[in-house]
Structure 1
Amino acid sequence: MSQAIIHLTATVDPRAHIGENTRVWHWTQIREGVTVGSESIIGKGCYLDAGVQIGNRVKMQSNVSVFHGVTIEDGVFVGPHACFTNDKTPRAINPDGTLKGADDWTVTPTLVRYGASIGANATIVCGITIGRFAMVAAGAVVTRDVPDYGLVMGNPARLVGYVCPCGARLPGGPAPTTEARTCPVCGRVTLVGSGE
């Protein structure tokens, strides 16, 4: 078994856990209580806030910000410059003008499920779940849950269809009921739509 490979410019808190065969690249900061699974890649300039949970075989490209309260399951792809928020009503100060501290706000959790993909420059607003093998388009601003295999795009992000676990877009648009769709690339049949 191999230990993690951590670039000498990365800052990894000793209270973080980095799994075997994981690579952490230049200028990344990983704070206390973070867990990163095995065989993951954390790209250049990423920020993983306190307590963030990252699974196995996650590929996180450069300059991604993941704030406290976010859980990313195994096999997730996160494109460059994506941002995961954690506060629905952010303020620097309280109404009396004093600087907000840790006790003056509430973390709103976010979950990214197995195999999902988050495009470059996407913003994930806290308090949502992104489903298994879902795909978030580049630049999308995601403000509500994304179903398993769902393809969302835009600002705010809207469901426009579904994708196969292989990544190819499945034929048809959003499904009002559960239905089987066949991938035109790999031939896999995937159940999509409500009621999953």
Structure 2
Amino acid sequence: MKEIDYFVHESAYIDKGAVIGKGTKIWHFSHVMAGAQIGENCTLGQNVFVASNVRIGNNVKIQNNVSVYEGVILEDYVFCGPSMVFTNVKTPRSAYPRNTSENYIKTLVKKGASIGANATVVCGVTIGEWAFVAAGAVVTRDVPPYALVKGVPARITGWVCECGLPLKFKEDTATCTACGKQYAKQGEKTVYRTS
């Protein structure tokens, strides 16, 4: 029998066939279904649900009351704030169930992205590397890397450093005042790190 090298609270359920990485912590009343893959050093808060076939990278933090439905992929260092919502079907109907894998639409949250409390991510979008979705925002389209998006529907209102602080561009360059990382802007929707 394999020794467990992660923590699971006694009230949590881990279905047989789920794969959980070393150092991960799964807290009260959470449920991880068979076929889910969770990386190393992740934290799943209270009442987190992870569906079958979900892929979660390393060092991901999922706060209380979040359901990660089939079709969602979270890369390394993603942060999901309390009670944020993922969807996985575009046209849900109780009378016409679409609850099979082929009906689920992929949602990708790329490395380092943060999603604020009570935000909603409509399925089929990609949230770019190190992007920041504000609390309460409703994401209905792709979010570029390093973008700060707010509102309903979510719109780009600025840009953020990998450390999470807002960037202030002068012409087409910015240097983070906290960590010193440098960025360049190309057009209205493209920012990339230069150092």
Question: TM-score higher than 0.5 here?
Answer: yes
SS at the partner of 2:124?
coil
The change in CA–CA distance for 1:104 and 1:16 in structure 2 (over 3 A counts) is closer
The change in CA–CA distance for 1:105 and 1:136 in structure 2 (over 3 A counts) is same
**Which residue of 2 is the match for residue 25 of structure 1?**
27
The change in CA–CA distance for 1:101 and 1:148 in structure 2 (over 3 A counts) is closer
- Give 1:1-196 correspondences, 5 Å limit: 3-94=5-96, 100=97, 102-103=99-100, 106-172=103-169, 179-192=172-185, 193-194=189-190
SS at the partner of 2:76?
coil
Residues matched between the structures, number: 187
Per-residue deviation, residues 119-162 of structure 1 (Å, max 9, x unmatched): 00110000000000000000110000000000001110000110
SS at the partner of 1:160?
strand
Which contiguous aligned blocks of 4+ residues in structure 1 show a shift greater than 3 angstroms?
101-105
Q: Indicate the RMSD between aligned Cα atoms, in angstroms.
A: 2.1
TM-score (norm 2): 0.90
How far did residue 104 of structure 1 move? Answer: 9.7
TM-score (norm 1): 0.89
Whether the 8 Å contact between 1:161 and 1:172 is mirrored in structure 2 is no
Whether the 8 Å contact between 1:23 and 1:40 is mirrored in structure 2 is yes
How far did residue 172 of structure 1 move? Answer: 4.7
Quote the sequence identity (%): 46
Gaps of 5+ in 2: none
